[in-house]
């Protein structure tokens, strides 16, 4: 195919549309020629098809080797083809995309092609909301790493450009509705996930708008009177306040100032390195090497669905990440690979099985089971009896039955919980992760607010009802399409093969799953949610107990009740709440009495120091340092000084030596306020002398100081500050 066959020739020829045809992520690209203008042929041709000749494989050491099956990959620019077929000069005038941009124009009141700068914002929002909807529809959640961070940046950049167009409210969910409508025909999953997509986008945008308001205020304070923003300040905005660096950079540039980007990146890299080191665990690299060493080994036969124990053979031994012929008791990071195994390997949120591998003269205790990408099972552990283990030995592999049964209970309860959450909270709920161990079931799910006590109770009741109805738990292998047709829940964003395993608990729950489960829900015994928390924006976490673990939990809580009753000198544990309420009431009364006494002490301290420092334009200024005292005591002393008259302005200072700080409290009488006195501005000026800050209302205000040694100097500054205020 010749080059001329790969290009579409524009009818117009001039480069009028060039600033729009070459568009990527909101930026404009022209031909670059200084002579670019009407009559130029720079954009007369647009590539819509290309060919890639795939011939070699590049190894990690840089060597190229011919592919066994070289091929030609061809790709057509679908969006460019749409431009050709519709005669549109650029993507933003193709029907489906144009409809979204028109909605952006309606919301913002800004027409397209009337202002070049605003056109960029219109296109950024249109482009980003399309990407955002598709990414959320594919199961990606906004986060601070990986593809989740890409999604978050797209969404936040769209929201930011909405602000630039004058939109001061959340609006992206309205655009998302439009994207779903225009694309539902080609992407039916968008309609199925409609509520979820809208909720994710709404929640993320609302959170960002709160962040952007607080962050921009702080950013402008940092930039005040300076030509640049330090890398330390940029990192503080990003790490402490969640203000994105790309937005910081954009705003700094808009202000005509510079950002110390290199320093920011240095601090970010250091932070990531510390996080990586914190996440590292012993032996991680060795087991990674083990997987590489086993790449040519056949898949391990898994018989654990039917059996807890089986006779098998050792096909490989591993020590410190290397294949060996034998291992002894002193060997480090040891593992066994079996021909077939009843041990379930870590996967799908379920922990790997533990147990023993027993030979003629040894026992190998399995502490964890994992598997490679090619389903070769690795049984990690140590020799607990005997001196050594040799490859090729005949062995009996036995799973820890008690541990396996506890895991089954917890895993099946996770399925019941998932179904109950969808029923109680809505179909937008999707599993976002889980951890099933013998001790605990942890379930992460998409939802946008904390569960109320009534919702938690409703979910618990629904799960326990399914348990008490003793529903049979069945498994069936079928095609993915058949499973979906039967209503089986597929994990959002998960990739499945054409054939899947479906686990059903009667008619209550049906889910695609490869884990181990009880045969009847009645085996679970009882289910109890012990915590419900937030783990990320739009993601909640439930931790729950079942079976014997729940019984032990109840015993522990009962013991705590009796211990609490004894501490409260309460004879009956049923009276604990009443006794606690009574004690709380007594403590509050004592707090009031203590506060009153402190006020008296502060007033007494003040009376010995109370004197008019100055009288300025008919307003009396009183200052006093009452020494060691709390902020409340300083406030009480200031209120006492204010009673001297309506024409009084008083500033009281107190020290908190243990913390190395001090407190300033300013009050202004009604006549003083009329004359121009402002307690908030006054205390701010005074505290600044002691390295602090603060503020408040005209009548009353508080501020903190960092240098106790400058209290008297700070109080002395009050006269000049007040004089400047008074009319």
Lowest mean pLDDT among 17-21, 154-158, 475-479: 17-21
Band of pLDDT at residue 14, cut at 50, 70 and 90: very low
Band of pLDDT at residue 12, cut at 50, 70 and 90: very low
pLDDT at 23 exceeding the cut of 80: no
SS3 per residue for 487-533? CCECCCCCCCCCEEEEEEECCCEEEECCCCCCCEHHHHCCEEEEEEE
Q: What Å distances lie between residue 475 and 346, 402, 512, CA to CA?
A: 20, 22, 9
The token pair that represents 501 in the structure block: 């395993």
pLDDT of res. 449 = 85
C-alpha–C-alpha distance, residues 445 and 430, integer Å: 5
Q: Tell me the mean pLDDT in the region 656-662.
A: 90
- In CATH terms, the fold of domain 599-725 is Diaminopimelate Epimerase; Chain A, domain 1 (3.10.310)
Q: What Å distances lie between residue 656 and 94, 462, 624, 706, CA to CA?
A: 67, 54, 15, 10
Nearest to 424 by CA among 464, 468, 456, 450: 456
The number of C-alpha atoms within 13 Å of 369 and in the hemisphere containing its C-beta is 31
C-alpha–C-alpha distance, residues 544 and 556, integer Å: 15
pLDDT of res. 606 = 61
Better-predicted residue by pLDDT, 197 or 42: 197
Lowest mean pLDDT among 241-245, 603-607, 692-696: 603-607
Q: What are the domain boundaries of the chain? A: 3-268, 284-399, 406-553, 599-725
Nearest to 686 by CA among 647, 712, 709, 661: 712
| Per-residue pLDDT reduced to its tens digit, 505-530 | 999 999 999 999 999 999 999 999 99
Band of pLDDT at residue 604, cut at 50, 70 and 90: low
C-alpha–C-alpha distance, residues 88 and 40, integer Å: 19
pLDDT at 59 exceeding the cut of 60: yes
| The residue to which tokens 């007594």 are assigned | 586
Vertex 718: Cα angle to 715 and 724 (nearest 5)? 170
| The residue to which tokens 């890409």 are assigned | 150
- In CATH terms, the fold of domain 406-553 is 3.30.980
Q: Average pLDDT, whole number, for the chain?
A: 86
pLDDT at 38 exceeding the cut of 80: no
Q: CB neighbours of 301 closer than 8 A, spacing ≥ 6?
A: 339, 340, 341
Q: What Å distances lie between residue 380 and 29, 386, 464, CA to CA?
A: 56, 17, 36
Q: Tell me the mean pLDDT in the region 74-84.
A: 81
| β-bridge partners, 73 | 52
CATH, range 284-399: 2.40.30.130
SS3 per residue for 445-475? EECCCCCCHHHHHHHHHHHHHHHHCCCEEEE
| Per-residue pLDDT reduced to its tens digit, 403-427 | 999 999 999 999 999 999 999 998 8
Same fold yes or no, 284-399 and 599-725: no
Measure the N-to-C terminal CA separation of the chain; round to a whole number of Å. 86
| Percent of residues, the chain, with pLDDT higher than 70 | 89
pLDDT of res. 494 = 64
Band of pLDDT at residue 353, cut at 50, 70 and 90: very high
- Beta strands (DSSP E) in 158-276 are 228-229, 258-259
Lowest mean pLDDT among 115-124, 162-171, 382-391, 632-641: 632-641
pLDDT at 36 exceeding the cut of 50: no
């Amino acid at each position: 195919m010749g080059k001329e066959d790969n290009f579409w020739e524009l009818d117009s020829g001039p480069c009028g549309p060039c600033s729009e045809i070459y568009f990527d992520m909101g930026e404009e690209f022209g031909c670059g020629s200084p002579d670019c203008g009407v009559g130029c042929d720079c954009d007369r041709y647009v590539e819509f098809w290309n060919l890639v000749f795939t011939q070699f494989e590049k190894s990690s050491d840089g060597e190229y080797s011919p592919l066994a099956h070289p091929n030609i990959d061809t790709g057509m620019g679908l969006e460019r083809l749409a431009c050709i077929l519709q005669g549109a000069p650029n993507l933003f005038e193709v029907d489906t995309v144009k409809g979204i941009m028109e909605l952006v124009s309606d919301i913002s009141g800004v027409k397209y092609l009337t202002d070049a700068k605003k056109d960029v914002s219109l296109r950024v929002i249109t482009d980003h909301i399309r990407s955002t909807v598709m990414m959320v529809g594919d199961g990606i959640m906004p986060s601070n790493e990986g593809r989740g961070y890409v999604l978050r940046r797209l969404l936040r950049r769209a929201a930011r450009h909405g602000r630039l167009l004058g939109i001061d409210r959340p609006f992206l969910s309205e655009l998302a509705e439009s994207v779903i409508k225009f694309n539902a025909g080609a992407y039916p999953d968008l309609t199925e996930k409609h509520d979820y997509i809208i909720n994710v986008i709404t929640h993320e945008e609302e959170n960002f708008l709160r962040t952007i308001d607080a962050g921009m205020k702080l950013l402008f304070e940092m930039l005040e009177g300076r030509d640049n923003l330090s890398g330390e300040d940029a990192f503080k905005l990003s790490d402490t306040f969640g203000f994105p660096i790309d937005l910081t950079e954009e705003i700094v540039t808009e202000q005509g100032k510079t950002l110390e980007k290199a320093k920011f990146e240095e601090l970010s890299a250091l932070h990531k390195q510390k996080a990586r080191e914190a996440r590292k665990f012993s032996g991680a690299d060795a087991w990674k090497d083990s997987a590489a060493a086993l790449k040519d080994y056949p898949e391990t036969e898994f018989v654990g669905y039917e059996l807890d124990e089986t006779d098998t053979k050792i096909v490989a031994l591993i020590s410190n990440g290397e294949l060996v012929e034998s291992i002894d008791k002193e060997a480090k990071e040891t593992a066994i690979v079996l021909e077939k195994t009843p041990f379930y390997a870590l996967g799908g949120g379920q922990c790997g099985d533990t147990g023993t591998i027993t030979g003629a003269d040894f026992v190998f205790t399995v502490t964890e089971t994992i598997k490679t990408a090619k389903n070769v099972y690795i049984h990690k552990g140590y020799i607990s009896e005997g001196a050594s283990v040799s490859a090729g030995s005949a062995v009996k592999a036995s799973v820890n039955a008690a541990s396996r049964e506890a895991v089954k209970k917890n895993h099946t309860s996770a399925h019941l919980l998932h179904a109950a959450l969808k029923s109680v909270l809505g179909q937008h709920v999707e599993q976002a992760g889980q951890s099933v161990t013998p001790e605990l079931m942890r379930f992460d799910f998409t939802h946008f607010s904390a569960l109320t006590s009534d919702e938690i109770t409703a979910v618990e009741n629904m799960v326990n009802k399914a348990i008490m109805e003793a529903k049979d738990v069945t498994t069936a292998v079928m095609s993915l399409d058949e499973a979906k047709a039967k209503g089986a829940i597929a994990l959002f964003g998960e990739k499945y093969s054409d054939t899947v395993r479906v686990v059903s608990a009667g008619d209550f729950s049906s889910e695609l799953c490869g884990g181990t489960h009880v045969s009847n829900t009645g085996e679970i015994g009882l289910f109890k949610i012990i915590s419900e928390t937030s783990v990320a924006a739009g993601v909640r976490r439930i931790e729950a107990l079942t079976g014997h673990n729940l019984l032990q939990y109840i015993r522990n809580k009962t013991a705590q009740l009796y211990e609490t009753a004894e501490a409260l000198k309460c004879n009956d544990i049923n009276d604990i709440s009443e006794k606690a309420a009574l004690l709380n009431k007594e403590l509050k009364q004592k707090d009031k009495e203590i506060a009153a006494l402190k006020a008296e002490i502060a007033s007494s301290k003040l009376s010995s120091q109370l004197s008019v420092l100055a009288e300025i334009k008919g307003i009396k200024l009183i200052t006093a340092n009452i020494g060691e005292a709390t902020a409340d005591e300083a406030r009480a002393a200031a209120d006492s000084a204010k009673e001297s008259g309506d024409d009084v302005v008083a500033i009281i200072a107190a020290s908190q030596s243990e913390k190395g700080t001090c407190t300033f409290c300013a009050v202004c009488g009604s006549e003083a306020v009329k004359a121009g006195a402002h307690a908030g501005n006054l205390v701010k000026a005074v505290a600044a002398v002691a390295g602090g800050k603060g503020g408040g209302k005209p009548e009353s205000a508080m501020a903190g100081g960092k240098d106790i040694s400058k209290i008297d100097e700070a109080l002395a500054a009050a006269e000049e500050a007040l004089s400047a205020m008074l009319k």
